[in-house]
Structure 1
């Protein structure tokens, strides 16, 4: 604020201080202009002296000038007056005044040099003696004659060819591949850079050929034979190939650079066109290729399953053993991801009213159970994701996005145990986008279970196509334990499960007792399995009821607990069958070692773990001649039947004879070491790991071009479209409930947040999407 009594008029000192910055700048400009003018004058004087000396020099007095052409001197003399006139015009004070008048920060000073260029070009055209290329300010003015060195080299090659025609030795050399390639190289050298980069554009036959080639997965689904597609591609491509010119070379010349098959040539053609346009495909549309680059790190396996101990089911036990034996090799880090159930669901699922108050408590239980059976301390991590138990489906459904519970740092290789089950209602990150390689292991024949329900045929039809969709969209490779499952995309059949080492030790102990003359199997036959109709109880009761008189005196002990226990026991009692029902036990329990025959009539299993365990203990196994038992047929103690009469014959045969001891090879085939080896081979993980460790092979210009230009594959685009459609479908709560989803499983609830110490869903995924 100003003081009213203060004099605000400027004084002399303040005026001088205010003017001093502008005076300093003005002096600086004047000094710079003076230096520029001085240097320009000195350069002009030096140029005048040199030109004068050049024109006055006599050829006889200076050796350098003696070699110069008289025509060149005449050329310089003729353009000297025009240069002097132009210099006087641009150095006059009038020109300087006009330039300063137009000076402004936004105005660029441009000096018209067209007169100088026209003068020189006119003299060159008029004189006609200069035969080399003349350029002015980077612009080509006259081509002139061809480069003298290349002209002489071509002339020499022509003379060499003429002489070679009269020589037998050189005649064969002339037609050799070396000479042809040398000629091609010379042609490429002589061409202008812009001309050599020109690539003919794609025409309609080429586009159609590539479209048909990329659409082969779709044609497979439509039932069109692959050889028909190949012939169509060849017909379209060969029509264009005869007239194609790569880099302005003829087709015959291009063939000398490398003979490729039809597919490689078409891919190379597409890649060359894309490279000429500067296009490079880096993913997008449906796919996201921003995955973790772990080339310098240890590989990581994340095994995600749908059940956990103490629920004694195959999807709880087998993935646990897989994690232990994959971690045992110490070649990779392993994380087992299992569902966490709230206490109300634990009471419904876990036997003997077992519950856990925290994930840490359940993890300790799992590790103790595992170490008692494998005999070593397994070094792998256990992680939990939220899950809810469905009473109708009798299975655990994930809540929220399961892939969130594997960190991006560890997202390398995913093993989805029951991939269809995990992804029925999956609403989140696509597995194949987050992980470098995704393997699905199919455990359960869901279609067989669904067909037994009301309206089972319609439900099985829908579930079949949903399973196809989710496995195609979320897996790179699918392993089916047996042919009992539906034929899924990208799948192969292989048993990648082993047996608990404890069962193999029991078998070795029994074999040793038999060698000592002891009676190893004092008991008869038994059946063990969860007591639900789908686990083979329906088939067992029907067989025993139909041939009750043929199996008179045959007694069978049945071990199991389950939702259908009361109905199963009531049906057996009503038919007066000789079945002794006992509570469910672990198959490794000592009370079960003395049985000689294990009866398993189930045809709904994919690969019965109890059957493998019974064989490992050296027992007889009586099972149906069914795809689920194909792996066990190679063992002599496995007795299969096709008809009810065959079942009766197998029972009598087993009770009347003794099982054969297992050979070392048979024991190994049942072990988890062999199962892990098969898993690595059939899931193609051995190739993935070997390609990670090996260096890329150096290739020619064709392979480098194909690597530099990546194209979207039609099958990948289709899979990505299916994943996007599934994501939209599972994001709608009404559609989820209509297909049988548990309410509130699109995200986890508050109880899961408290148990697993998670942020609320609204914080992790706010509605505005930030």
Structure 2
């Protein structure tokens, strides 16, 4: 049945058959020679897997990327495409008492947050696609062929934030057949998450293959934010994230205070901030704090105490583990990293080994703090900054902590601050996203990608197979009216972790 579907005249074949032969020839030429991404009048569609008010990297960074892309050229049109969740899923994902009746209500919320964060009017379009919160995966799964929600006249450059995630269960034509140039940006180390689950080694190998398969057949080029993630076809490594001007200005103000007051400019010590799930650095945090206080602290005065901000699915069990181990970690719940009280802290400790690039580390550096993080591929970009300290073992961690707790961060240079801005990140994106010799799209690649896409389509175009492999029931066809959508409870597939 799978082979029959691979070579049937299905949705993919119908998509390719539309239009005249000359139009197909022009589209093919454009696909292989998309031209200069900085050319006037280019249209960008930034598609991501999460939306505010969920304060996660894949909601915040794509939003800011879209805002700064639009700001860089008045002739450039930028659309941000985010998931719309039904009421039941909103209640799980969004902060308490923050829900929306219609997409337009949520758009107003997103625009207001963006304008306040960047300090100017965001000149972007915002559109929604239907998504389901997969409780077994802790993430949002698109419903239906979301590429079809983009008007044909806007299908120029697509930036797929988490292309593997967006395309795990994508039931339509290849994104590369609909857009002139498709760039994927890898945000998340899903292999690390899989590795930590039951039967993790087997899940990791399957997921590695699926990620590679879906990404290569739906993108022309892939940008890895760091080398902490797996290899992908036609990929390069570049950090294309930035931080908002608010953090930069906070850092400049703190630099002036340091020159005037020295260490007295910081009234608090060390902290950590992040979504409260074990895989987001909390396992490593409890380990390094526990080891430091047991083996390296000299009495209670030398113990490492920290404030910890964040909430999430593992909040209760993390709190219980901290109490059981009698660790001096204060779990203080959710807080925006831009909150003024964060400026009082001198040291941001981020021991996470699951990040690809930690936005919080960049924000902490911008605010003029010391950042102490693991010597890891995800931190290679930050390690080049004056106030970053890295460690590869507990002896080095103890040495770093003793240094940063007894000294004062140096004021950031203008060059360092500029590297952290979204303006600089946008320039890196446009350079990295353009076609180049190292990632050229060959005929061999085209043929391989076609067969890969057909095989993948054969699996996900069947409702029963989608349910079996974890795509969720009722996710093949989109709802007619997003605001009236009321799907059934989520159920996972064979390899998904079972929820209790």
TM-score bracket, shorter-length normalisation: 0.7 to 0.9
The answer on 1:566 being equivalent to 2:310 is no
In the other structure, the counterpart of 2:181 is 437
User: RMSD of the alignment, in Å?
Assistant: 2.4
In the other structure, the counterpart of 1:526 is 271
Distance 1:605 1:594 in 2: 25
The answer on 1:322 being equivalent to 2:52 is no
- Contact 2:34 2:181 (8 Å CA) reproduced: no
What is the TM-score with the length of structure 1 in the denominator?
Answer: 0.57
Question: What SS is found at the alignment partner of 1:531?
Answer: coil
The answer on 1:548 being equivalent to 2:293 is yes
Decide which of 249, 252, 257 is 1:505's aligned counterpart. Answer: 249
Distance 1:565 1:715 in 2: 45
- Contact 2:292 2:304 (8 Å CA) reproduced: no
Could you give the per-residue CA deviations for residues 177-219 of structure 1, whole angstroms, max 9, x where no partner exists?
xxxxxxxxxxxxxxxxxxxxxxxxxxxxxxxxxxxxxxxxxxx
Question: What SS is found at the alignment partner of 1:439?
Answer: strand
What is the CA distance between 1:427 and its match in structure 2?
A: 0.4
Distance 2:220 2:401 in 1: 43
Decide which of 206, 215, 223 is 1:471's aligned counterpart. Answer: 215
Decide which of 415, 418, 422 is 2:162's aligned counterpart. Answer: 418
The answer on 1:579 being equivalent to 2:309 is no
Question: What SS is found at the alignment partner of 2:141?
Answer: strand
- Contact 1:337 1:384 (8 Å CA) reproduced: yes
In the TM superposition, structure 1's runs of 4+ consecutive aligned residues that sit over 4 Å from their partners are 280-284, 290-297
Question: What SS is found at the alignment partner of 1:716?
Answer: helix
Distance 1:494 1:410 in 2: 27
What are structure 1's unaligned runs of at least 5 residues? 1-279, 688-710, 757-770
In the other structure, the counterpart of 2:283 is 538
Could you give the per-residue CA deviations for residues 637-679 of structure 1, whole angstroms, max 9, x where no partner exists?
1000000121111111110110110000000000001100000
In the other structure, the counterpart of 1:595 is 345
In the other structure, the counterpart of 1:310 is 53
In the other structure, the counterpart of 1:58 is none
The answer on 1:453 being equivalent to 2:203 is no
Distance 1:516 1:283 in 2: 66
What is the CA distance between 1:283 and its match in structure 2?
A: 6.5
Structural mapping, 1:595-674, within 5 Å? 595-674=345-424
Could you give the per-residue CA deviations for residues 689-740 of structure 1, whole angstroms, max 9, x where no partner exists?
xxxxxxxxxxxxxxxxxxxxxx992221111111111111111222212211
Distance 1:681 1:610 in 2: 24
What is the CA distance between 1:686 and its match in structure 2?
A: 10
In the other structure, the counterpart of 1:246 is none
Could you give the per-residue CA deviations for residues 575-623 of structure 1, whole angstroms, max 9, x where no partner exists?
1111111011000101111000001000000000000000000000110
In the other structure, the counterpart of 1:101 is none
Judge which range, 350-359 or 414-423, deviates more: 350-359
- CA spacing shift, 1:633–1:294, aligned 2, 3 Å: closer
What is the CA distance between 1:352 and its match in structure 2?
A: 2.4
Could you give the per-residue CA deviations for residues 215-239 of structure 1, whole angstroms, max 9, x where no partner exists?
xxxxxxxxxxxxxxxxxxxxxxxxx
Q: Which has the higher helix share?
A: 1
Structural mapping, 1:238-257, within 5 Å? none
What is the CA distance between 1:685 and its match in structure 2?
A: 6.6
Q: Please identify the structure whose Cα radius of gyration is greater.
A: 1
What are structure 2's unaligned runs of at least 5 residues? 1-20, 487-500
Distance 2:22 2:256 in 1: 64
- CA spacing shift, 1:753–1:576, aligned 2, 3 Å: closer
Structural mapping, 1:341-490, within 5 Å? 341-490=85-234
Name which structure has the greater RCO, CA cutoff 8 Å, separation 6+: 2
In the other structure, the counterpart of 2:472 is 742
